[in-house]
Amino acid sequence: MLEVRDISASYGKHCALDGVTLEVGHAEIVVILGANGAGKTTLLKVIAGLVPAGPGARITMNGRDLAGVPAHRIVEAGLALVPEGRGIFGDMTVRENLLLGAFPARARRSEAATLDMVLDLFPRLRERLAQVVRTMSGGEQQMVAVGRALMTSPEIVLLDEPSLGLAPIMCTELFTALARIRSTGVGVLLVEQNARLSLKVADRGYLIESGRIVGSGSAAALKDDPAVQRAYLGAGEVHTGHIDPT
């Protein structure tokens, strides 16, 4: 169970995040929707330890405090980030990428089983274990990226815009995989602009705007909300009046 309280962050004088609070449980998919520049990527980077959390922030994983812990230790606590731009080792093979995912001590014992699980999830990677990742298509690279994160045997996976630049059919395949990941008990925190597709697989969602959480609710409630459509399209103001607060 990941709990995040009062995260703030700024680049120079630009305030990227302002008091963000959210939580992600096991075996659920939670999506964060918001316009470009709303702070979604920064939020995931702060949680993963790539960007320092502002003062007063609390990030806990199963009650263990993670604020200020370096990124490579956060992985050991069971959090794995698939960053925007994929975070893969382009000059290395698929097999090397996946085995690097199993570098954390927590992942090593179950390495072989996890590898089997990942290759079942993305059968296309099984045929291409010896291929250098840089030479693969965008969709296949994204599978490697998600596979690498799963190899760390996380409890919670954070995904930053996994549909970025993918053809629609690839998106569908990827999101189906997310549902199967949830069924193994792993929690998923997803940042997406593909609202309809992500709300289809998600259990809950948050709306973020200018670094603040401005609404939240069940995926079903969000899906039918006209404000969501405007939100993902990046309209200036979002009215969240009739969305149930969680």
Partner 1 sequence: MLAAVIAVVFAALAAFPLVASGYHLALGISLLYFTVLATAWALFSGPTHYISLATAAFFGIGAYTTAVLTDFLPWPLVLFAAAVVGVVVALIVGLSTLRLSGIYFVIFSFGLAELIRQLVAWYEINIHGSVGRYIFAETTSEGIYWRLLALVVMVLGTGWLIRHSRLGLAVRVIGQDEAVARHCGIDTTRAKLALFAISAAFMTVTGAVMAPRWTYIDPAIAFNPMLSFEVVIMALFGGAGTLFGPLLGAVPLVLLFEVLIATFPNYFSIVLGGVFVLIVYGLPNGVIGLWQAKRTAHHVAMSPLAEMVTKFVWPRAAEHDAIHDAPVLQLVNMRKAFGGLVAVDDVSFALRRGEILGLIGPNGSGKTTALNLISGAQRADGGTITLASRLIALLPAHRIAQRGIARTFQLVRVLPDSSCLENVAAGIAFHAKPVWGPAAEDRARTLLSRVGLGDKTDMPAAQLTYIDQKRLELARALGLAPVVLLLDEWLAGLNPSELQVGIALVKMLREEGLTIVIVEHVMDAIRSLCDRCVVMNAGRLIAEGPPAAVLADREVIRAYLGEPDA
Partner 2 sequence: MTTKALRMTLALDIVLSGLVLGGMYALIALGLTLQYGIARIMNLSYGECLVAAAFAALYLYTGMAVNPIIGLLAVVPASFAANWLLYQVVLTPLVRRARNQGMLEVDSILGTFGILFVIQGLMLLTFGGTLQSYSYLSVPVHILGTTLALNRILALLSAVVIGGVLYLFLTRTRYGTALRAIAVNPDAARLSGIDIHATSALAFAAGGAIVGAGGVLISMFLTFSAAMGVVFTMKALIVVIMGGVGNMLGALIAGLLLGISETAVARLVDPGLTIAVTYALFLSILLWRPTGLFGRTAR
Binding mask 115-154 for partner 1 (x = CB under 8 A): -------------------xxxxx-xx-------------
Find the helix or strand (DSSP H, E) in which 112 lies. Answer: helix 111-121
Q: Is the backbone of residue 87 left (phi > 0), alpha (psi -120 to 50) or beta?
A: left
* Torsion sign, CA atoms 176, 41, 194, 3: positive
Q: Are 105 and 111 in contact (CB under 8 A)?
A: no
- Our CB check for partner 1 shows the closer of 19 and 234 to be 234
What's the min distance (Å) between Cβ of 76 and partner 1?
31
Question: Can you read off the two tokens belonging to residue 202?
Answer: 């998600």
| 118 touches partner 2 by CB under 8 A | no
From candidates 21, 60, 93, 193, binder to partner 1 by CB under 8 A: 193
What's the min distance (Å) between Cβ of 233 and partner 2?
30
| 171 touches partner 1 by CB under 8 A | yes
Of residues 146, 151, 117, the one with CA closest to residue 133: 146
Site for partner 2 in 55-94 (CB under 8 A): 70-73, 75-76, 80-81, 83, 87-92
Segment interacting with partner 1 (CB under 8 A) among 19-27, 117-125, 143-151, 166-174: 166-174
State the Cα–Cα distance between residues 146 and 127, nearest whole angstrom. Answer: 17
| 179 touches partner 1 by CB under 8 A | no
Site for partner 2 in 179-218 (CB under 8 A): none
Q: Are 154 and 138 in contact (CB under 8 A)?
A: no
| 200 touches partner 1 by CB under 8 A | yes
